[in-house]
Amino acid sequence: MALTKSVVDSQARDYQRHEPLYAVEAENLETLPAAFASGAYGRRDAAWVVRWYYRRFLGTYPDAERRDAEERFWDNDFEAVRDAISDAVDADETAAMIDALTTLEAVDVPVASAFCMFIDPHEYVVVGPREWSALEDAGELSMAYPDPPSRSQYETYLECCRSVAKRLDCELWTLYRALWRLSA
């Protein structure tokens, strides 16, 4: 299916109506960027991003892997978490953000992309197999999801998303919601 403005808008509205995590996602997209920028957040706020990345799959992500990642993230010293997020907030390019965040235990490129989205939802969008496959099915990406993607593959995905969002005159958060629904 081609990605058109009407398809993206319709799918994003369906996401808002039917996806059970929408309300908490929207709330965190409103509050976390300022909290991360100012440093006014706690350990649970940072851990929420990791939990969200895996739990948005609503049980289809292997439970043992999800639990392992969540537990390993809690093993990070909170000052290291704060430093990594601060470095990501202050970074002037995607590569530096990803590099700062992936210094943390249990944060690979996909989870780092989730942090990027909650740091700056106007510039970043999370990557995962569902979003990637929706772009591939629409002919926007030419390769299958690399599990997990490298930093450079995330940058390719991000540029694709930015290009599509610009072409369709929509926000990345809107595009994310549509891609999630299209891949269901």
DSSP line for the chain:
----HHHHHHHHHHHHHH-TTHHHHHHHHHHHHHHHHHT---HHHHHHHHHHHHHTTTT-S-HHHHHHHHHHHHTS-HHHHHHHHHHHHH-SSHHHHHHHHTTSTT--HHHHHHHHHHH-TTT-----HHHHHHHHHTTS--SPPPSSPPHHHHHHHHHHHHHHHHHHT--HHHHHHHHHHHT-
52-93 tens-digit pLDDT: 999 998 877 778 999 999 999 999 999 999 999 999 999 999
User: What pLDDT band is residue 181 in, cutting at 50, 70 and 90?
Assistant: very high
Q: What residue ranges do the domains of the chain occupy?
A: 5-182
Residue 112: predicted pLDDT? 98
7-36 tens-digit pLDDT: 999 999 999 999 999 999 999 999 999 999
The whole model's pTM is what?
A: 0.97
* Position 121 pLDDT exceeds 90: yes
